Amino acid sequence: MKLTPYNNASTAAITKRALVIGGGIAGMQASLDIADAGYEVVLVEREPSIGGHMIQLSETFPTLDCSQCIMTPKMVEVSQHPNIRLMTYCEVEDVTGDVGQFDVRIRKKAAYVDREKCTGCGLCVEKCPTKVPSEFDLSLGKRKVIYVPFPQAVPPKPVIDAENCRFLTSGKCGVCKKVCEVEAVDFEQTDTMIEERVGAIVVATGYDLYAKEKVAEYGYGRYPDVISGLEFERLNSASGPTTGEIRRPSDGKVPREVVFIQCVGSRDREKGVPYCSRICCMYAAKHAMLYKHKVPDGQAYVFYMDIRADGKGYEEFVQRGVEEDGTLYLRGRVSRVFQHGDKIVVWGVDTLAGKKTEIAADMVVLATAVVPAAGSRKLAKALDIVTDEYGFYTEAHLKAHSVESGKPGILLAGCGQSPKDIPDTVAQAGCAASKVTALFSASEVGGSLLDLPMRFTASKSLRE
Amino acid sequence: MSDFDPKILGFVCNWCTYAGADLAGTSRIQYPPNIRIIRLMCSGSVDPLYVLKSLLEGADGVLIGGCHPGDCHYTNGNYKARRRIAILKSILRQIGLEDERVVLRWISASEGKRFADTVTEMVGKLKELGPNPLRERWQI
């Protein structure tokens, strides 16, 4: 089959090799699907390990199964797949060319560790004298300056955080270099540029949470016991900083009353973003349930606007939380959150009862808005694709081409396109992968397809 | 009996316990090196005969590790394992073997510590029980 360009321009060969940007669940799924179809994949992740946000989660809704039980075998599969070339701690800098022949410049960031030589023995991490807050545990735990972000990291090789390293900032220390038996630590390392030619690109860069400073009204960042949903995930995780015990950050006390506040930043036209973040209703229901399972005499309250439980088994899950675990839902907004003694007092209104409510809680968990990952706009510019006003990648058509970007050969997957839950992310990633393999199954493609998404031309040639 | 070093055979599922054992290792948690792990796709694919065979061939203890109830990646494999091991234990008692030699434990991928604790606990218990009597019987 030959894909006919719409305007019958000259044809060009297709490089049957895909680039996937982002190593979260979306990027991993897309990579595995393309690789299983027999095509080569270059998977680029900017963090030292793949796994993304999903590996940070303790359990997943609505089944309450352990997120790491899904992720860790998948991460190993990605790293060992013969068709996947994994490039962690790398960033896509620049992309030129068109569908079938993109030339990609990738920056391999200086890890100060020769990750080929490194055996992952962990001695350097053990001996490193400096501790800094761990990004993976959202500052609830500590990590060393030479570090693997979390124990199951893939690859299990450390990198040095140049900003905090004693040797790189002041020239003293160098303990890691001294203890390394295979001489993998290399303080002279610099960023290097790698060029790759690929035929198609899947953009799966994911999300971040709404910045702390922007939700100061709820005391986030000011009171240590006001935390975000993702921080709660780490508190609840058996491999997290508290080994799965729910203990509040300020004094390590087990909280007896926890207030969950929904729509923090999202659905807020004045101060935040107008869209719905889609996952918060469900994860708050999950958090309340998991909290109750671990603190049976505790009470969870949820301040909500509406409950949006639109997936398979979701509504039943929310109901289960109410009926079996006694989660108390209060419909209304919170007006004030303030510290009083060792309590966090939450003033709100229960609009269904028409009453003001006051809860003296031990901990407050905010469902902060999902926003595009930092750097999404910059990447969009490099890829020559469009983002909306918030920075989410714009699809070619919201309904008919929801996986294609406006540019042929560039596909979207996961939360970079819009907030979505894990099942939808996996489905979209699989769809993006199938579009890539459909493109690769053609022998050649026209040179100037800039105007139209790939699908149009492909279906045209199939009709002929 | 203090110099007795028990041999434990572990049948663990690919999704939860194997990853949990992996986490114990990558988190560098220390635990006795007395366990040999065999990875299966699911605790539900552990035929009780595997366990019996291990004991007959001289294993001092057998660990079966699976996903927590409700977490099974094949829907209900761990429930099947639970029923089978319950029956197996009653058979062990009838033939005069201590049923504590066989342990079924739910260990998720994030519970590296639980895996290490389980092995430590089993080694302690088996040291108390002493070597598997069947092992000596077979040695001529």
Residue B26's pLDDT is 87
Among A63, A65, A239, beta carbon nearest to B112: A239
How does residue A410 score in pLDDT terms, banded at 50, 70 and 90? very high
Q: A451 or B73: which carries more pLDDT confidence?
A: B73
Contacts of A5 (CB under 8 A, 6+ apart): A11, A445, A446, A447, A448, A449, A457
CA distance B90 to chain A (A): 31
Q: Which of A439, A448, A443 is nearest to A1 (CA)?
A: A443
The CATH number of A11-109+191-206+373-463, from 3.40.190.10, 3.50.50.60, 3.60.21.10, 3.90.220.20, is 3.50.50.60
Q: Which of A53, A60, A56 is nearest to A27 (CA)?
A: A53
Distance CA(A117)–CA(B111), nearest Å, equals 30
**Which residues of chain B have a CB within 8 Å of the CB of A67?**
110
With a cut of 50, say whether residue A302 has pLDDT above it.
yes
Share of chain A above pLDDT 90, in %: 86
Residue A385's pLDDT is 95
How does residue A79 score in pLDDT terms, banded at 50, 70 and 90? very high
Please write the tens of the pLDDT for every residue from A229-286. Answer: 999 999 999 989 999 999 999 999 999 999 999 999 999 998 899 999 999 999 999 9
With a cut of 60, say whether residue A463 has pLDDT above it.
no
Residue B99's pLDDT is 94
Q: Which of residues 9-48 of A touch B (CB under 8 A)?
A: none
Distance CA(A57)–CA(A106), nearest Å, equals 29
Chain A contact for B108 (CB, 8 A cutoff):
yes
**Which residues of chain A have a CB within 8 Å of the CB of B27?**
151, 239
Q: What would the two tokens of residue B63 be?
A: 């660990």
CA end-to-end distance (rounded Å), chain A: 10
Residue B61's pLDDT is 96
Distance CA(B44)–CA(A313), nearest Å, equals 25
Residue with tokens 């107008």: A274
Residue with tokens 């960023």: A191
Distance CA(A430)–CA(A412), nearest Å, equals 11
Q: How far is CA A208 from CA A66, A138, A211, A287, in A?
A: 22, 12, 8, 19
Distance CA(A109)–CA(B68), nearest Å, equals 40
**Which residues of chain B have a CB within 8 Å of the CB of A77?**
none
Distance CA(B69)–CA(B84), nearest Å, equals 15
Pair type for strands A370-372 and A207-209: antiparallel
Q: How confident is the prediction for chain A on average, in pLDDT?
A: 91
In this prediction the ipTM stands at 0.76
Positions of chain B with pLDDT under 70? 1-2, 137-140
Residue type, B61: G
Residue A11's pLDDT is 63
Please write the tens of the pLDDT for every residue from A175-205. Answer: 999 999 999 999 999 999 999 999 999 999 9
Strand, helix or coil at A37?
Answer: coil
Average pLDDT, integer, range A390-398: 94
CB contact under 8 A, B108 and A69: yes
Asked whether the CA dihedral A75, A80, A83, A84 is positive or negative, the reply is: positive
Residue type, A286: K
Q: Which of A307, A221, A293, A294 is nearest to A260 (CA)?
A: A307
Asked whether the CA dihedral A143, A22, B16, B38 is positive or negative, the reply is: negative
Count CB pairs under 8 A between chains A and B: 69
CB of A58 closer than 8 Å to CB of A67: yes
Radius of gyration of chain B (CA): 14
Residue A8's pLDDT is 47
Chain B contact for A316 (CB, 8 A cutoff):
no
Q: How far is CA A46 from CA A106, A234, A295, A439, B111, in A?
A: 10, 21, 37, 27, 27
**Which residues of chain B have a CB within 8 Å of the CB of A156?**
26
**Which residues of chain A have a CB within 8 Å of the CB of B22?**
72, 152
Average pLDDT, integer, range A344-351: 95
Chain A contact for B30 (CB, 8 A cutoff):
no
Residue type, A329: Y
Chain B contact for A156 (CB, 8 A cutoff):
yes
With a cut of 90, say whether residue A6 has pLDDT above it.
no
Strand, helix or coil at B108?
Answer: coil
CATH class of B8-138: alpha beta
Q: Does domain A211-369 have CATH number 1.10.357.10?
A: no
Instruction: Give me the half-sphere count of Cα atoms (radius 13 Å) on the Cβ side of residue A357.
Output: 22
Pair type for strands A59-60 and A146-147: unpaired
Nearest CA in chain A to B21: A152
CB of A201 closer than 8 Å to CB of A102: yes
CB contact under 8 A, B114 and A238: yes
CA distance B68 to chain A (A): 8
Distance CA(A321)–CA(A61), nearest Å, equals 12
Residue with tokens 């068109």: A98
Chain A contact for B27 (CB, 8 A cutoff):
yes
B104, B110, B116, B121 alpha-carbon torsion, rounded to 10°: -40
Q: How far is CA A415 from CA A52, A142, A206, A422, in A?
A: 11, 28, 5, 9
| Comma-separated ranges of CATH 3.50.50.60 domains in chain A | 11-109+191-206+373-463, 211-369
With a cut of 60, say whether residue A3 has pLDDT above it.
no
A38, A42, A43, A49 alpha-carbon torsion, rounded to 10°: 110
Chain B contact for A79 (CB, 8 A cutoff):
no
CB of A384 closer than 8 Å to CB of A368: no
Residue A1's pLDDT is 45
Q: Which of B25, B7, B71 is nearest to B44 (CA)?
A: B71
Q: What would the two tokens of residue A255 be?
A: 């909280």
Residue-range domain boundaries for chain B: 8-138
Cis ω for the linkage preceding A82 (within 30 of 0): no
A335: part of which helix (H) or strand (E)? strand A334-340
Chain A contact for B117 (CB, 8 A cutoff):
no
